Structure 1
Amino acid sequence: MPWRDRISELPECLITKILSYLPTKHSVKTSVLSTRWKNLWLTVPSLLLNCHDFPYRQDEVILSFLDRLLEFDPDSRLLKVKVECGGSEDIDGLRDRISTVIQRGPQHLDVESFTEYRDDDDDNFLYPFIDYIPLSLYTSRTLVSLTLTYSGLQDPGLVYMPCLKSMTLVKVHFLHAADLEKLVSGCPALEDLTLIRNMNPIYADEKVMRVRSRSLKRFRVPFSHGKRCRSSVKYTLEIDAPVLERMTLGEDHYDIIMVKNLTSLFTVDLGIKFVVEFGVFFYPGDLPKRNEIRYFLSGISSVKHMIISDKTVKAFELYSNVGMIPKFNNLSRLEAVFPFKLLQFLPAFLECCPNLKHLILEVYYSREMEDAFELTDVPQCFLSTLECVQLKRIHEWEEEEMKVATYFLENAAVLKKLTLSLTNYPRYVSDEEIFEEVNKVTKRSPACHILPDWGLCE
């Protein structure tokens, strides 16, 4: 059977749809296939451009390329646009092209800009040059999703993006702190917001960041900095979102966190330690920080599903020594990572969850710890609601692990299922021996089923 070019036989609209999923540099290469393909890349309804793909990053070549694309059919729409030009050099004229792109009515816009520090010869001072997003962005009536990285957001004046549902701001420079609040408030359909703080702010004005929205359902401050998460400027994050359903605070980007009107909160994922300064937990005698934690916990007390890291557990334990953790009466599912030395705090924390049904617990055991521990207190949920417990990342199955499993089997009166998630790492004790030991305890709790979770943990 002779070879046939079946792709070229497809309708043009379908070909351009396929090309829209490729980086623009790859769709341009198809222009050499045949006469029919010569200009097809110019009609693709997406622009996925990385300025570093151009040889030596020649500014005039980049601008000429964009001009050809934008002038080929001025009435066509670019539905998806991603432009990556992060680096150390400004491309004079690129901002005007981005403005033209925005005016072409994209639905999805992703722009990575840059911040350049230039030397002023007069006073030998490095001052920032910030690549600001064109003002036409703030009144786009077509954008559905927006991602900005390293960009500058100046005072937008009027903000109205009626279709925007998802926004991600990564290390963005705000001319004024109030600009974030104005930006969010001008997006009446916004449901998803991700905010990664710029740890090197240019303006000292950037101190209080307010997220106020009547439509926001998901808010994330993801883990991104690790040990580099430090700044000389103190930030306060204020969240006021009455229909917010899921909130993730994955890192201590902010020195103070305030929450208001989170009456619809369903899931909260916490990886924070309520930092005082980089790498330091708060001192229990610090009254302002104690009040901050108290108000924060009260503000999320209606949550139904909570995920907490070992850092957050430590912060809660420190706070419990000087303040009372509120009752989480609606909490039915808890996922927690407990350091071994904080296991004594587990019953006290579970006492604050009187209606807990599902518990997923991961314990970091330290073989260097010689202090014995006893879990004796029985929280209220053990007697009435706790039905399912999963113990994650069990490795050696030594005395400590056995104590934790026995604690639930002997005291959780309505427990129906205990799941053991065993690691795949080589261990001295076989899976069969582990379940044989657990089943000895199960005989005293015949209503509970012990289940393995094979291969869950790597």
Structure 2
Amino acid sequence: MMNIKAHGSEENYGIDKISSLPDDVRTHILSFLTTKEVVKTCILSKRWINTWASVPDLKFGIEEFGLPEFVDDEMAVEFVTKFKLLLRSVLEKPETSCVNKFQLLFDSVSLPWTRDITDCIDDVMKLNPRECLVNLDSSTNLNLNANLIFNCASLIHLRLWFSTRVDLELNSVNLPCLKTLSLHGVATSDNFLKKLLLGCPCLEELELQSSRFNIIEICSNTLKKLVLCNCYGMRIPFCNGMRIHISTPNVLYLDIHTFCRWNILLLNLPLLVHASICFHGWYDQDEYDPRVPKLIQSLSNVESILFYPMEWKMDFSNCPVFDNLKSLVLVLVECDFFVFDFVPFFIHQSPKLQEVTLENCIKYESESESESESESESDTEFVDEEITQEGPEDALVQREFLKTVRIVGFKNINKFVDQLINKLLLHVKIIGEIDII
């Protein structure tokens, strides 16, 4: 009888196959682990003693250290001290001659980061990393050496995320290889962005969030994605000195979400494919704002748009035709009846429109709770609008077909939904599918 041994039998059990691999292969495998996990491999055998130090990726995250959700002052100081020693020991190893990726992700717990930590970040920059991601929640002032970071010529991807404001004072910028930049929680001078764009000739993606800028002027021929979210100025919110001027002929994706009343000018966006626009506090709902049609005109080439339209008073007759628009998402605040004008406008001005989504930004806690409330409140909360067929002399040309209409978050507000659907049916001959979610 033949003696057939199953794969993984005692003969093969316990063989250290990883140690027999070439050094570069083992290093690549270890690069998927966090630095703390990699350091632990030094106890495996003599061959592994210094292998960890040659791994080009340094990854540190709060989860791997097992800190509780709430950390008292004594525990926080002890942790920062131990972590500083760990990071310093890694950087001082002779084998740590270069770094490919550096991740310092401690944004879920507020810790008293000291100057020693920012010194370690400086040392990492001297090792010419290609990617740097720093997320820090600090209970103390971070004295960051921004000039060293923004003159690290090897960087391709840079993300600096701070929960408390960090001042970035730059003498110069030299990031010739940088393709993506994300900044959160920073404060800068008025000429910061000008220096930045001049020093980043290859920049393709720029994200600025929760940061202080009095002036945002972005003129770039390389940018393909631009995100401006909740940026603010130190000047009076309604002051004309706060302005956003954008001229980016190759941008494909644009997201602007702000609560301040910026003076906004969008120019030269011929290739724009997707736009997401929200200007809370930018308008005066009792007055006509001439900036609104100018803004919409600049978005006329988009294929998809997510809009927080607010209650803008505008002259629809001067607005453009959206020749490429296929997908429209309108995010509403509760039951805004002004949407009855906004939706027909986009339907008539968008000959290729296929999908319309109307989403309530205020979500209901549960379907059962909402059902009982909507039954009792529907007669008093909403005023019936008389919806009639327009006369032939006033009606715009109907669209033949709209593939999908999604109504999200209004499922239990029957009167509003019924009126909305009736309004749509006045302007679209055939609606392929209506989803009420």
**Residue aligning to 2:181:** 167
| 1:13-49 Cα shifts (integer Å, max 9, x gaps) | 3333233222222222333333333333212111112
Deviation of 1:149 (Å): 1.7
> In structure 2, do the counterparts of structure 1 residues 197 and 184 end up closer, same or farther at CA, with 3 Å as the change threshold?
farther
**Residue aligning to 2:196:** 183
**Residue aligning to 2:72:** none
Give the whole-Å Cα distance in 1 for the aligned partners of 2:359 and 2:85.
58
Give the whole-Å Cα distance in 1 for the aligned partners of 2:209 and 2:298.
22
What's the secondary structure of 1:268's corresponding residue? strand
Long gaps (5+) in structure 2: 1-8, 68-74, 361-373
Give the whole-Å Cα distance in 2 for the aligned partners of 1:51 and 1:130.
18
- Choose the corresponding residue for 1:327, options 295, 320, 327: 320
**Residue aligning to 2:47:** 36
Give the whole-Å Cα distance in 1 for the aligned partners of 2:343 and 2:358.
15
| 1:256-294 Cα shifts (integer Å, max 9, x gaps) | 332222222121112333x15xxxx52443x7xx24334
**Residue aligning to 2:115:** 92
CA contact (8 A) 1:161 1:187 kept: yes
The TM-score with structure 2 as length reference comes to 0.75
**Residue aligning to 1:437:** none
> In structure 2, do the counterparts of structure 1 residues 340 and 237 end up closer, same or farther at CA, with 3 Å as the change threshold?
closer
**Residue aligning to 2:370:** none
Does 2:162 correspond to 1:135?
no
Give the whole-Å Cα distance in 1 for the aligned partners of 2:111 and 2:300.
46
Give the whole-Å Cα distance in 1 for the aligned partners of 2:268 and 2:86.
49
> In structure 2, do the counterparts of structure 1 residues 27 and 325 end up closer, same or farther at CA, with 3 Å as the change threshold?
farther
CA contact (8 A) 2:56 2:96 kept: no
Give the whole-Å Cα distance in 2 for the aligned partners of 1:392 and 1:258.
32
CA contact (8 A) 1:163 1:189 kept: yes
Q: Give, as a single letter, the amino acid of the residue that structure 2 aligns with 1:164.
A: L
**Residue aligning to 1:395:** 411
- Choose the corresponding residue for 2:330, options 318, 331, 336: 336
**Residue aligning to 1:152:** 167
Paired positions, count: 383
1:118-129 to 2 correspondences below 5 Å = 129=141
CA contact (8 A) 2:259 2:279 kept: yes
- Choose the corresponding residue for 1:68, options 79, 86, 89: 89
| 1:334-369 Cα shifts (integer Å, max 9, x gaps) | 222453523431455236614242131326598331
Give the whole-Å Cα distance in 2 for the aligned partners of 1:180 and 1:89.
30
Does 2:435 correspond to 1:412?
no
Give the whole-Å Cα distance in 2 for the aligned partners of 1:114 and 1:400.
43
**Residue aligning to 1:79:** 100
Long gaps (5+) in structure 1: 118-128, 424-458
Give the whole-Å Cα distance in 1 for the aligned partners of 2:128 and 2:201.
18
Give the whole-Å Cα distance in 2 for the aligned partners of 1:403 and 1:70.
65
Q: Give, as a single letter, the amino acid of the residue that structure 2 aligns with 1:137.
A: I
1:223-262 to 2 correspondences below 5 Å = 234=237, 235-252=242-259, 255-262=262-269
| 1:316-341 Cα shifts (integer Å, max 9, x gaps) | xx322x67551133242222245352
Give the whole-Å Cα distance in 2 for the aligned partners of 1:373 and 1:36.
82
CA contact (8 A) 1:208 1:236 kept: yes
CA contact (8 A) 2:266 2:298 kept: yes
Give the whole-Å Cα distance in 2 for the aligned partners of 1:283 and 1:407.
23
Q: Give, as a single letter, the amino acid of the residue that structure 2 aligns with 1:241.
A: T
CA contact (8 A) 2:35 2:59 kept: yes
What's the secondary structure of 1:66's corresponding residue? helix
- Choose the corresponding residue for 1:193, options 195, 206, 226: 206
Deviation of 1:103 (Å): 2.3
Q: Give, as a single letter, the amino acid of the residue that structure 1 aligns with 2:176.
A: P
CA contact (8 A) 1:194 1:220 kept: yes
Give the whole-Å Cα distance in 2 for the aligned partners of 1:254 and 1:13.
54
**Residue aligning to 1:124:** none
Q: Identity over aligned residues, as a percent?
A: 19
> In structure 2, do the counterparts of structure 1 residues 397 and 46 end up closer, same or farther at CA, with 3 Å as the change threshold?
same
**Residue aligning to 1:450:** none
| 1:400-454 Cα shifts (integer Å, max 9, x gaps) | 54554455556534x4x5223243xxxxxxxxxxxxxxxxxxxxxxxxxxxxxxx
**Residue aligning to 2:366:** none
CA contact (8 A) 2:114 2:142 kept: no
Q: Give, as a single letter, the amino acid of the residue that structure 2 aligns with 1:101.
A: V
RMSD: 3.5
> In structure 2, do the counterparts of structure 1 residues 406 and 299 end up closer, same or farther at CA, with 3 Å as the change threshold?
closer
Deviation of 1:63 (Å): 4.0
Deviation of 1:209 (Å): 2.1
Give the whole-Å Cα distance in 1 for the aligned partners of 2:261 and 2:203.
22
- Choose the corresponding residue for 2:221, options 209, 214, 219: 214
CA contact (8 A) 2:76 2:111 kept: no
> In structure 2, do the counterparts of structure 1 residues 246 and 264 end up closer, same or farther at CA, with 3 Å as the change threshold?
same
Give the whole-Å Cα distance in 2 for the aligned partners of 1:304 and 1:347.
16
